[in-house]
Structure 1
Amino acid sequence: MTEQFTEIVTLIKRSQYNAQKNVNIEMINLYWQVGEYIHQKIASASWGEGMISELAHYIERKHPELKGFRLRALYKMLQFYTFYLSYIENKSIKSTVNQQEIMPSLMAQFTDIRNTMIVQVSWSHHLTLMTKTKSREECDFYLRLCIQENYSVRELERQIKSSLYERVRLGQQQSPMSGDKINTDESLLFRDKYIFEFLNLPESHSEKDLQQALIHKIKDFILELGDGFIFIGEEYRVTVGGTDFYVDLLFFHRDLQCLVAFELKTTAFLPEYLGKLNFYLEALDRKVKREHERPSVGILLCKEQNDEIVEYAMNRSLSPAIISEYQTFLPDKKLLRQKLHELFENEME
């Protein structure tokens, strides 16, 4: 009976994987065509580069339901098109599964890449290939490897970092494409935040799990910094005006004799984050802090792709001398930034 149940679960997982794969194909093709459109407009002098910014603002203002098309993302799509353009022109990455010619686009002015190898890996794979490979041959090598071996982005980055391409070229190692396949969980292949953006789903559907995983790890890391920190709680509740608010992580620092609140954001820094953190500190000072303790301190951790922000929120009433003393005992910003980067890189995989 258990074996039959397992077969049903296998069918469900396989169907989910195929659905995600089809979404990925459409998304990659769309990003290609957006990049192609922008490239053609700039090449014909119809657009200056400032028009890309205007396009991003237009989409954000007029169509806020369309996610994943901010300025940085649009530039990535343009880079994606120009990066692979010579591949398409030379037909060097024609699908190894379907050997037909590239399908004509439904919109005649655009190229359809759905029958090429490009759509067989996720957008995050392409971002890695565009930024970490140094030549067309190296990119082609890793692209084919990803498809055949079902590499996750993390595994792809590991292979590039280990210089697998160079070692194979020098004959020091056999290419994995000619040996045994790596058993990679195919369900990991398309866990790509860009797919969720492409579907216009609310970010909260996966944000909470990621945030909780990061909170647990950053908590353990902070406790390793020394015996000054005493952990009080995570999602620590403070009630103001009958409404409950939750601080991600709350510590007490023995040397500073004050509460230290950590807020972790899985998005880019926004000014209102500091305002919210200061609100938490005021609430902690009024409702949690003991009379003999010093004013609470907050540390804000933000992340967006490769940008980490670590900012201390100090009470404005504190003197420069006290602020300097606080900063001496608090974790070094560079160390927190490095650890935050490592945590995000690991958890996003």
Structure 2
Amino acid sequence: MTEQFTEIVTLIKRSQYNAQKNVNIEMINLYWQVGEYIHQKIASASWGESTLEELALHILRKHPELKGFTRSNLYKMRQFYSSNIPYLEKKSTKSSGNQQEIVSTLSRQFTDIRNTLLVRVTWSHHITLMGKTKSREESEFYLRLSVQENYSVRELERQIKSSLYERVQLGQQQSPISRERIGTDENMLFRDKFVFEFLNLPENHDEKDLRHALIRKIKDFIHELGDGFSFIGEEYRVTVGGTDFYIDLVFYHRDLQCLVAFELKTTAFMPEYIGKLNFYLEALDRRAKRAHERPSVGILLCKEQNSEVVEYAINRSLSPTIIAEYQTFLPDKKLLQQKLHELFEEVE
């Protein structure tokens, strides 16, 4: 009987989610069309900038039941339309039919964006994109990433603050890959650099400080890693030959269906780190891995790495070990933007 109740609850929640999703689609489409109307009126000199204040007061006095149409929000709707025109030039089509007009008595028709990515995020996402990105390309990058990874507004803001767009463009980091595209390729899944600015660690810290800081901020850490990780334990114990060994952090990855061991090092990469991590992976596979699971994956987080040293170290290693760098402080965004600008100039 309980199982049947659970099915009913699931049905209710699914219906509520779909209803909320449809409400968001209609709202974003409406805000676009209001922005389009305002933009066209001002562009044709039919309206002045002060008209938005008059419109907001008219709605407030004559239609108080209509919420959210303040002067500030009307300006944002206009900005939303004008800033996204390049994105929709090849994707959108003019709507047709009376149901797609803002007011039935208006003779002109408005752009329908209900089949675009723009309606796949919330209005708060769009306000963040308009306020915190510097170009249409950067905004579109974060829009696609938010849809792909189902980012909250807070996570979107954190990725923008961490200069993810600039780092990807400069080749310092791979663009995050969605579950549908990665399949079971570990090297496509794991980023080769992580930004752990949320830890607020001092410059001189040891592995214990790093591990404890990660545990305190485990939610943000998982967000930085990407989707699919589930936390298993800190200082995870494996016993071999009667001796206990402790792995810094162990996760399970749902898509890969394997355990993921993290070895934390606050120094530059050293070849001997590989042997220790391989030992841990072998112990996990023999002592903890279940029959249906794939071989465990190891990730070595070092303060920095030398590509040639890494190549020599892992050349004979059979374990799917990923050598990764971590950064405890954000890269300088202005410097990254400058480098990105210089890179584009070279290409041109």
TM-score by length of 1: 0.47
Provide TM-score, normalisation by structure 2: 0.47
